[in-house]
Chain A
């Protein structure tokens, strides 16, 4: 079992560029999440998906979109990247109130 995988691990974008962060889990979990981690602010929820076909906004959804492609995959899209979106992005899946995290994507927007 790979658990939760994320691609890419690192990415540098210029302001205005778009990109999609990929996340996949092989634990057959219904719930999946996208967080961003910034120094001194902990993890902030961007979007989550309680089950295949559903998505909901978290604390900081502005500037992001998500797609729950199937039960395994949950992608995060930045349509027009801004320097304020420089962060480390973590995907997680959950079952029985426990979360399992991916290794993260470090994104820099210049």
Chain B
């Protein structure tokens, strides 16, 4: 079965610190990759996506992610986090030409003001 792993379950940072959240998936074929964010009490919103082309993708609110095919990874980064980035972050994968999405277990980020 396909799987998506997010190894950091809970991350605590101070404002202005740099962020990197790991995401690895297990599938050797063509994939589309996503990061979603869920702010407290809200539904999931798309942060950024990778379909093809430049492996470094930029999303909203200063987030970016790098697709490294050889490592089956799609790590999320932000150079300087803000208190408003406190949320849960989910990595997701969809296999090309399939309809099913696979989500990681999520990483809760707490940013201290």
A41, A50, A98: which contacts B46 (Cβ < 8 A)? A98
B105, A40: Cβ atoms under 8 Å? yes
| Distance between Cα atoms of A90 and B100 in the complex (Å) | 15
| List of B residues within 8 angstroms of A41 by Cβ | 105
Tell me the nearest residue of chain B to A97, going by C-beta. B32
Report whether over half of chain A's contact residues are helix, strand or loop; otherwise say mixed: strand
A-B contact count (CB 8 A): 49
| List of A residues within 8 angstroms of B22 by Cβ | none
Count contacts on A: residues with CB < 8 A to the other chain.
22
B34, B43, B94: which contacts A102 (Cβ < 8 A)? B43
B101, A42: Cβ atoms under 8 Å? no
B99, A42: Cβ atoms under 8 Å? no
Residues 90 to 113 of chain B near chain A (Cβ within 8 Å): 90, 92, 94, 99-106
Q: Does B51 contact A (CB under 8 A)?
A: yes
| List of B residues within 8 angstroms of A48 by Cβ | 99-100
Q: Does B69 contact A (CB under 8 A)?
A: no
| Distance between Cα atoms of A41 and B43 in the complex (Å) | 16
Residues 23 to 79 of chain A near chain B (Cβ within 8 Å): 31, 33, 35, 40-45, 48, 50, 56, 58
Residues of A within 8 A of B (CB): 31, 33, 35, 40-45, 48, 50, 56, 58, 90, 94, 97-99, 101-104
